[in-house]
Copies of this chain bind each other. A is one copy, B any other.
Amino acid sequence: MERRATIKDVAEAAGVGVATVSRVLSGGSASPRTRERVLAVAAQLDYRPSALGRNLRQRRTGGMGLLVPDLTDTFYGQLAEGVLACARSAGEPVVLGSTGGDPEQESELIGMLLEQSVDRLIAVPSGDAETWAPAIRAGMTVVFADRLPAPAAAEEDVRAAALTDLLALDGLPATPQTRPLDVPAVVADDRAGIRTAVRYLRGLGHKRIAFLGGPGHDRRVAAFREAVGAPVDEELVVFGTGSRDSAYAAASGLFQSRPDLSAVVTGGNVLGEAAVLAARELDLRVPRDVSLVMYDDVPWAELCSPPLTVIAQPGRDMGYRAAELVLRAGTRKPRSVVLPTELIIRGSCGPRR
Protein backbone atom coordinates (compact mmCIF):
# COMPACT_ATOMS: atom_id res chain seq x y z
CA MET A 1 0.00 0.00 0.00
CA GLU A 2 1.91 2.98 -1.26
CA ARG A 3 1.11 6.43 -0.05
CA ARG A 4 -1.20 8.39 -2.26
CA ALA A 5 0.15 11.41 -4.05
CA THR A 6 -0.67 14.69 -2.33
CA ILE A 7 -1.08 18.12 -3.72
CA LYS A 8 2.44 18.83 -2.60
CA ASP A 9 3.83 16.01 -4.71
CA VAL A 10 2.04 17.37 -7.71
CA ALA A 11 3.27 20.89 -7.02
CA GLU A 12 6.87 19.79 -6.76
CA ALA A 13 6.72 17.57 -9.79
CA ALA A 14 5.19 20.36 -11.80
CA GLY A 15 7.53 22.96 -10.41
CA VAL A 16 4.77 25.20 -9.12
CA GLY A 17 3.30 26.10 -5.76
CA VAL A 18 0.58 24.09 -4.11
CA ALA A 19 -1.79 27.01 -4.36
CA THR A 20 -1.48 26.91 -8.10
CA VAL A 21 -2.28 23.24 -8.23
CA SER A 22 -5.29 23.83 -6.05
CA ARG A 23 -6.47 26.62 -8.30
CA VAL A 24 -6.03 24.67 -11.49
CA LEU A 25 -7.86 21.68 -10.12
CA SER A 26 -10.75 23.71 -8.87
CA GLY A 27 -11.10 25.60 -12.09
CA GLY A 28 -9.47 28.82 -10.94
CA SER A 29 -7.43 31.10 -13.13
CA ALA A 30 -4.04 30.04 -14.38
CA SER A 31 -2.04 30.48 -17.51
CA PRO A 32 -2.74 27.88 -20.15
CA ARG A 33 0.83 26.69 -19.97
CA THR A 34 0.77 26.15 -16.23
CA ARG A 35 -2.66 24.61 -16.26
CA GLU A 36 -1.64 22.12 -18.88
CA ARG A 37 1.49 21.13 -17.06
CA VAL A 38 -0.26 20.73 -13.74
CA LEU A 39 -3.00 18.67 -15.27
CA ALA A 40 -0.49 16.45 -16.98
CA VAL A 41 1.51 15.86 -13.84
CA ALA A 42 -1.59 15.24 -11.79
CA ALA A 43 -2.78 12.63 -14.25
CA GLN A 44 0.67 11.14 -14.39
CA LEU A 45 0.80 10.75 -10.62
CA ASP A 46 -2.77 9.53 -10.52
CA TYR A 47 -3.43 12.30 -8.08
CA ARG A 48 -6.80 12.40 -6.37
CA PRO A 49 -7.43 15.30 -4.04
CA SER A 50 -8.13 14.10 -0.53
CA ALA A 51 -11.62 14.91 0.60
CA LEU A 52 -10.30 14.82 4.14
CA GLY A 53 -8.01 17.79 3.67
CA ARG A 54 -10.56 19.77 1.78
CA ASN A 55 -13.31 19.07 4.25
CA LEU A 56 -11.26 19.96 7.26
CA ARG A 57 -10.25 23.21 5.69
CA GLN A 58 -13.82 24.02 4.75
CA ARG A 59 -15.12 22.78 8.06
CA ARG A 60 -17.75 20.68 6.44
CA THR A 61 -18.10 17.35 4.78
CA GLY A 62 -19.47 17.18 1.30
CA GLY A 63 -22.17 14.71 0.60
CA MET A 64 -25.21 13.99 2.69
CA GLY A 65 -26.62 11.74 5.32
CA LEU A 66 -29.64 9.52 4.76
CA LEU A 67 -31.73 8.15 7.59
CA VAL A 68 -34.48 5.63 6.96
CA PRO A 69 -36.42 3.39 9.32
CA ASP A 70 -35.74 0.07 7.64
CA LEU A 71 -34.09 -0.93 4.38
CA THR A 72 -35.96 -4.19 4.40
CA ASP A 73 -39.08 -2.24 3.58
CA THR A 74 -39.04 -2.06 -0.20
CA PHE A 75 -40.42 1.43 -0.23
CA TYR A 76 -37.43 2.78 1.64
CA GLY A 77 -35.23 0.80 -0.68
CA GLN A 78 -36.76 2.69 -3.58
CA LEU A 79 -36.38 5.96 -1.76
CA ALA A 80 -32.75 5.23 -1.02
CA GLU A 81 -32.10 4.34 -4.63
CA GLY A 82 -33.44 7.74 -5.63
CA VAL A 83 -31.19 9.54 -3.19
CA LEU A 84 -28.18 7.54 -4.30
CA ALA A 85 -28.89 8.22 -7.95
CA CYS A 86 -28.92 11.95 -7.37
CA ALA A 87 -25.88 11.85 -5.12
CA ARG A 88 -23.95 9.82 -7.64
CA SER A 89 -24.65 12.21 -10.44
CA ALA A 90 -23.36 14.96 -8.18
CA GLY A 91 -20.35 12.87 -7.23
CA GLU A 92 -21.26 13.17 -3.57
CA PRO A 93 -21.00 10.45 -0.95
CA VAL A 94 -24.00 9.32 1.08
CA VAL A 95 -23.71 8.25 4.69
CA LEU A 96 -26.49 5.87 5.52
CA GLY A 97 -28.21 5.05 8.76
CA SER A 98 -31.13 2.82 9.58
CA THR A 99 -33.11 3.86 12.63
CA GLY A 100 -35.42 0.91 13.04
CA GLY A 101 -38.13 3.49 13.63
CA ASP A 102 -36.63 4.21 17.02
CA PRO A 103 -36.24 7.89 17.97
CA GLU A 104 -33.37 7.06 20.24
CA GLN A 105 -31.35 5.38 17.54
CA GLU A 106 -32.28 8.24 15.31
CA SER A 107 -30.80 10.69 17.81
CA GLU A 108 -27.64 8.70 18.04
CA LEU A 109 -27.29 8.60 14.31
CA ILE A 110 -27.82 12.34 14.09
CA GLY A 111 -25.06 12.70 16.64
CA MET A 112 -22.81 10.48 14.60
CA LEU A 113 -23.46 12.56 11.49
CA LEU A 114 -22.74 15.74 13.41
CA GLU A 115 -19.48 14.24 14.51
CA GLN A 116 -18.66 13.51 10.89
CA SER A 117 -19.52 17.08 10.03
CA VAL A 118 -22.14 15.87 7.61
CA ASP A 119 -24.24 18.96 7.38
CA ARG A 120 -26.85 17.84 4.90
CA LEU A 121 -29.38 15.26 5.77
CA ILE A 122 -32.33 13.55 4.21
CA ALA A 123 -34.51 11.73 6.67
CA VAL A 124 -37.64 9.70 6.99
CA PRO A 125 -38.09 10.84 10.58
CA SER A 126 -39.13 8.61 13.44
CA GLY A 127 -38.66 10.97 16.35
CA ASP A 128 -40.65 14.11 16.96
CA ALA A 129 -39.67 17.73 16.62
CA GLU A 130 -37.73 17.52 19.82
CA THR A 131 -35.56 14.76 18.43
CA TRP A 132 -34.82 16.96 15.48
CA ALA A 133 -34.16 20.21 17.24
CA PRO A 134 -30.46 19.45 17.87
CA ALA A 135 -29.82 18.79 14.21
CA ILE A 136 -31.48 22.02 13.19
CA ARG A 137 -29.75 24.01 15.89
CA ALA A 138 -26.42 22.62 14.82
CA GLY A 139 -27.05 24.18 11.44
CA MET A 140 -27.73 21.05 9.48
CA THR A 141 -29.63 21.39 6.26
CA VAL A 142 -32.31 18.78 6.59
CA VAL A 143 -35.01 17.66 4.22
CA PHE A 144 -37.66 15.25 5.35
CA ALA A 145 -38.97 12.61 3.00
CA ASP A 146 -42.13 10.53 3.06
CA ARG A 147 -43.30 12.02 6.33
CA LEU A 148 -42.84 14.78 8.89
CA PRO A 149 -41.85 14.47 12.51
CA ALA A 150 -44.66 14.96 14.98
CA PRO A 151 -44.52 18.26 16.83
CA ALA A 152 -42.79 18.16 20.19
CA ALA A 153 -44.74 17.06 23.22
CA ALA A 154 -45.17 20.60 24.42
CA GLU A 155 -48.64 21.90 25.27
CA GLU A 156 -51.40 19.60 26.30
CA ASP A 157 -52.94 18.21 23.18
CA VAL A 158 -50.06 16.90 21.15
CA ARG A 159 -52.02 14.77 18.81
CA ALA A 160 -54.35 17.53 17.83
CA ALA A 161 -51.49 19.87 17.17
CA ALA A 162 -49.75 17.27 15.11
CA LEU A 163 -52.73 16.66 12.98
CA THR A 164 -53.58 20.24 12.25
CA ASP A 165 -50.02 20.89 11.29
CA LEU A 166 -49.69 17.87 9.12
CA LEU A 167 -52.95 18.39 7.42
CA ALA A 168 -51.88 21.88 6.51
CA LEU A 169 -49.42 20.47 4.04
CA ASP A 170 -52.23 18.89 2.13
CA GLY A 171 -54.34 22.00 2.21
CA LEU A 172 -56.50 21.16 5.16
CA PRO A 173 -57.22 24.01 7.56
CA ALA A 174 -54.59 24.32 10.25
CA THR A 175 -54.29 26.55 13.23
CA PRO A 176 -51.18 28.61 12.63
CA GLN A 177 -50.05 28.52 16.24
CA THR A 178 -48.04 25.33 15.92
CA ARG A 179 -45.27 25.47 13.35
CA PRO A 180 -42.87 23.10 15.00
CA LEU A 181 -40.07 22.78 12.51
CA ASP A 182 -39.32 24.86 9.46
CA VAL A 183 -37.84 22.16 7.34
CA PRO A 184 -38.66 21.40 3.73
CA ALA A 185 -40.11 18.02 2.95
CA VAL A 186 -40.84 15.79 0.00
CA VAL A 187 -43.98 13.79 0.56
CA ALA A 188 -46.69 12.09 -1.40
CA ASP A 189 -50.11 13.59 -1.70
CA ASP A 190 -51.48 11.31 0.96
CA ARG A 191 -54.72 13.15 1.20
CA ALA A 192 -55.59 12.63 -2.43
CA GLY A 193 -54.28 9.09 -2.39
CA ILE A 194 -56.37 8.03 0.56
CA ARG A 195 -59.39 9.93 -0.62
CA THR A 196 -59.31 8.25 -3.99
CA ALA A 197 -58.98 4.84 -2.39
CA VAL A 198 -61.85 5.42 0.00
CA ARG A 199 -64.07 6.71 -2.77
CA TYR A 200 -63.23 3.71 -4.87
CA LEU A 201 -64.18 1.37 -2.05
CA ARG A 202 -67.34 3.35 -1.41
CA GLY A 203 -68.19 3.00 -5.04
CA LEU A 204 -67.97 -0.75 -4.63
CA GLY A 205 -70.54 -0.53 -1.87
CA HIS A 206 -68.29 -0.74 1.16
CA LYS A 207 -69.51 0.93 4.32
CA ARG A 208 -67.28 -0.41 7.06
CA ILE A 209 -63.82 0.46 5.90
CA ALA A 210 -60.91 0.05 8.26
CA PHE A 211 -57.54 1.75 8.33
CA LEU A 212 -54.44 -0.12 9.35
CA GLY A 213 -51.59 2.25 10.06
CA GLY A 214 -48.12 2.40 11.48
CA PRO A 215 -45.70 4.98 12.80
CA GLY A 216 -45.46 7.98 10.55
CA HIS A 217 -48.84 7.46 9.01
CA ASP A 218 -50.46 10.37 10.81
CA ARG A 219 -51.23 12.27 7.67
CA ARG A 220 -52.74 9.19 6.13
CA VAL A 221 -55.02 8.46 9.06
CA ALA A 222 -56.07 12.06 9.16
CA ALA A 223 -56.90 11.89 5.49
CA PHE A 224 -58.74 8.66 6.06
CA ARG A 225 -60.82 10.20 8.79
CA GLU A 226 -61.64 13.07 6.55
CA ALA A 227 -62.51 10.82 3.65
CA VAL A 228 -64.85 8.52 5.53
CA GLY A 229 -66.40 11.52 7.28
CA ALA A 230 -67.74 11.77 10.78
CA PRO A 231 -68.65 9.86 12.75
CA VAL A 232 -65.52 7.70 12.48
CA ASP A 233 -65.81 4.23 13.89
CA GLU A 234 -62.70 4.34 16.05
CA GLU A 235 -62.46 0.60 16.32
CA LEU A 236 -61.80 0.49 12.63
CA VAL A 237 -58.66 2.59 12.94
CA VAL A 238 -55.80 0.53 14.31
CA PHE A 239 -52.06 0.81 14.47
CA GLY A 240 -49.00 -1.38 14.51
CA THR A 241 -45.70 -0.19 15.87
CA GLY A 242 -43.59 -0.72 12.79
CA SER A 243 -42.29 -4.25 13.12
CA ARG A 244 -43.70 -7.00 10.95
CA ASP A 245 -44.86 -8.86 14.02
CA SER A 246 -46.74 -5.96 15.42
CA ALA A 247 -48.25 -5.27 12.02
CA TYR A 248 -49.48 -8.81 11.85
CA ALA A 249 -50.89 -8.63 15.35
CA ALA A 250 -52.70 -5.43 14.55
CA ALA A 251 -54.17 -6.82 11.35
CA SER A 252 -55.20 -10.06 12.94
CA GLY A 253 -56.74 -8.27 15.90
CA LEU A 254 -58.66 -6.01 13.62
CA PHE A 255 -60.12 -8.82 11.55
CA GLN A 256 -61.11 -10.76 14.63
CA SER A 257 -62.62 -7.94 16.62
CA ARG A 258 -64.56 -6.58 13.71
CA PRO A 259 -65.67 -9.37 11.43
CA ASP A 260 -68.22 -6.97 10.02
CA LEU A 261 -65.68 -4.84 8.22
CA SER A 262 -65.63 -5.33 4.49
CA ALA A 263 -62.59 -3.38 3.38
CA VAL A 264 -59.28 -2.20 4.73
CA VAL A 265 -56.80 0.41 3.64
CA THR A 266 -53.26 0.00 4.91
CA GLY A 267 -50.88 2.89 5.45
CA GLY A 268 -47.81 1.09 4.11
CA ASN A 269 -46.64 -2.06 2.40
CA VAL A 270 -45.51 -3.83 5.54
CA LEU A 271 -49.01 -3.46 6.89
CA GLY A 272 -50.41 -4.62 3.58
CA GLU A 273 -48.28 -7.72 3.82
CA ALA A 274 -49.55 -8.29 7.34
CA ALA A 275 -53.13 -7.87 6.24
CA VAL A 276 -52.78 -10.45 3.50
CA LEU A 277 -51.19 -12.90 5.89
CA ALA A 278 -53.71 -12.33 8.66
CA ALA A 279 -56.63 -12.60 6.28
CA ARG A 280 -55.34 -15.89 4.95
CA GLU A 281 -54.78 -17.20 8.43
CA LEU A 282 -58.34 -16.36 9.37
CA ASP A 283 -59.70 -17.85 6.17
CA LEU A 284 -60.87 -14.55 4.87
CA ARG A 285 -60.79 -14.50 1.11
CA VAL A 286 -59.56 -11.43 -0.72
CA PRO A 287 -61.53 -9.81 -2.20
CA ARG A 288 -64.60 -11.93 -1.58
CA ASP A 289 -64.64 -11.52 2.18
CA VAL A 290 -62.54 -8.45 2.49
CA SER A 291 -61.26 -5.88 0.04
CA LEU A 292 -57.76 -4.54 0.42
CA VAL A 293 -55.99 -1.40 -0.69
CA MET A 294 -52.38 -1.02 0.26
CA TYR A 295 -50.24 2.10 0.30
CA ASP A 296 -47.03 1.73 -1.75
CA ASP A 297 -46.64 -0.02 -5.03
CA VAL A 298 -43.96 -2.61 -4.61
CA PRO A 299 -42.98 -5.27 -7.13
CA TRP A 300 -44.49 -8.09 -5.14
CA ALA A 301 -47.92 -6.44 -5.02
CA GLU A 302 -48.46 -7.93 -8.41
CA LEU A 303 -47.40 -11.38 -7.31
CA CYS A 304 -50.08 -11.80 -4.71
CA SER A 305 -53.20 -13.53 -5.73
CA PRO A 306 -55.17 -11.69 -6.29
CA PRO A 307 -52.72 -8.96 -7.24
CA LEU A 308 -53.01 -6.08 -4.83
CA THR A 309 -54.77 -2.85 -5.61
CA VAL A 310 -52.45 -0.14 -4.36
CA ILE A 311 -51.97 3.55 -3.83
CA ALA A 312 -48.71 4.07 -5.64
CA GLN A 313 -46.32 6.77 -4.53
CA PRO A 314 -43.10 7.48 -6.41
CA GLY A 315 -40.51 6.33 -3.89
CA ARG A 316 -37.55 6.74 -6.13
CA ASP A 317 -38.56 10.19 -7.28
CA MET A 318 -39.17 11.14 -3.71
CA GLY A 319 -35.61 10.27 -2.83
CA TYR A 320 -34.22 11.96 -5.89
CA ARG A 321 -36.11 15.16 -5.29
CA ALA A 322 -35.15 15.22 -1.63
CA ALA A 323 -31.51 14.86 -2.58
CA GLU A 324 -31.84 17.66 -5.09
CA LEU A 325 -33.37 19.90 -2.46
CA VAL A 326 -30.71 19.22 0.08
CA LEU A 327 -27.96 19.83 -2.46
CA ARG A 328 -29.44 23.04 -3.76
CA ALA A 329 -30.21 24.28 -0.29
CA GLY A 330 -27.27 26.67 -0.37
CA THR A 331 -28.58 28.42 -3.44
CA ARG A 332 -32.17 29.07 -2.59
CA LYS A 333 -34.44 28.37 0.29
CA PRO A 334 -36.07 25.09 -0.73
CA ARG A 335 -39.79 24.74 -0.75
CA SER A 336 -41.57 21.52 0.15
CA VAL A 337 -42.71 19.23 -2.61
CA VAL A 338 -45.84 17.13 -2.78
CA LEU A 339 -45.70 14.28 -5.25
CA PRO A 340 -48.81 12.73 -6.83
CA THR A 341 -50.12 9.32 -5.94
CA GLU A 342 -52.00 6.97 -8.18
CA LEU A 343 -54.59 4.34 -7.41
CA ILE A 344 -53.56 1.24 -9.30
CA ILE A 345 -56.51 -1.08 -9.52
CA ARG A 346 -55.64 -4.74 -9.62
CA GLY A 347 -57.57 -7.53 -8.05
CA SER A 348 -57.83 -7.12 -4.31
CA CYS A 349 -61.03 -5.16 -4.18
CA GLY A 350 -64.49 -6.39 -4.99
CA PRO A 351 -68.07 -5.42 -4.34
CA ARG A 352 -69.28 -5.65 -0.79
CA ARG A 353 -70.57 -9.10 -0.27
Chain A interface residues toward B at CB < 8 A? 1-2, 4, 48-53, 55-56, 59, 61, 63, 66, 70-74, 76-78, 80-81, 84-85, 88, 91, 93-98, 105, 108-109, 111-117, 137-139, 244, 273, 276-277, 298-300, 302-305
Complex alpha-carbon distance, A70 and B298, angstroms = 14
Inside 8 A of A48's CB, which chain B residues have their CB? Answer: 111, 114-115
Assess the B93–A81 pair: CB atoms within 8 A.
no
- Write the nearest CB–CB distance from A217 to chain B, whole angstroms: 19
A112, B84: Cβ atoms under 8 Å?
A: no
A–B complex contacts, Cβ < 8 Å, 29 sampled: A2-B139, A48-B111, A50-B117, A51-B117, A52-B55, A52-B116, A66-B96, A71-B78, A71-B80, A71-B84, A72-B78, A72-B81, A72-B299, A74-B77, A77-B77, A80-B96, A84-B97, A88-B97, A88-B98, A88-B109, A94-B96, A273-B303, A277-B302, A277-B303, A298-B300, A300-B303, A303-B303, A303-B304, A304-B304
Q: Give min CB distance, A110 to chain B, whole Å.
A: 11
Q: Copies per complex?
A: 2
Whole-angstrom CA separation of A305 from B94 in the bound complex = 38
When the two chains form the complex, which single residue of B61, B74, B96 contacts A84, counting CB atoms closer than 8 Å?
Answer: B96
On whether the beta carbons of B98 and A84 are closer than 8 Å, the reply is yes
Among A78, A91, A98, chain B packs the most CB atoms within 10 A around the CB of: A98
Residues in B with CB closer than 8 Å to A115 are 48-51
Given contacts A71-B84, A72-B81, A303-B303, 10 further A-B contacts (CB under 8 A): A2-B139, A48-B111, A52-B61, A80-B98, A88-B97, A93-B112, A95-B96, A300-B303, A300-B304, A304-B305
Contacts of A98 in B (CB 8 A): 80-81, 84-85, 88
CA distance A110 to B114 in the complex (A): 24
Q: How far is the CA of A72 from the CA of B72 in the complex (A)?
A: 9
Residue pair A71, B61 in contact (C-beta under 8 Å): no
| Bound: A298/B299 CA distance, A | 12
Distance, CA A78 to CA B302, complexed state (A): 21
- Across the interface, do A53 and B56 meet the contact criterion of CB distance under 8 Å? yes
Tell whether, in the assembled complex, residue B299 and residue A273 are in contact, meaning their CB atoms are under 8 Å apart.
yes
Given the complex of chains A and B, what is the CA–CA distance between A276 and B299 in angstroms? 12
* A53: chain B residues within 8 A (beta carbon): 56
Cβ-closest 4 pairs across A and B:
A1-B139, A300-B300, A96-B96, A71-B77
Cβ contact within 8 Å between A81 and B70: yes
Report the minimum CB–CB distance from A278 to chain B (whole Å): 11
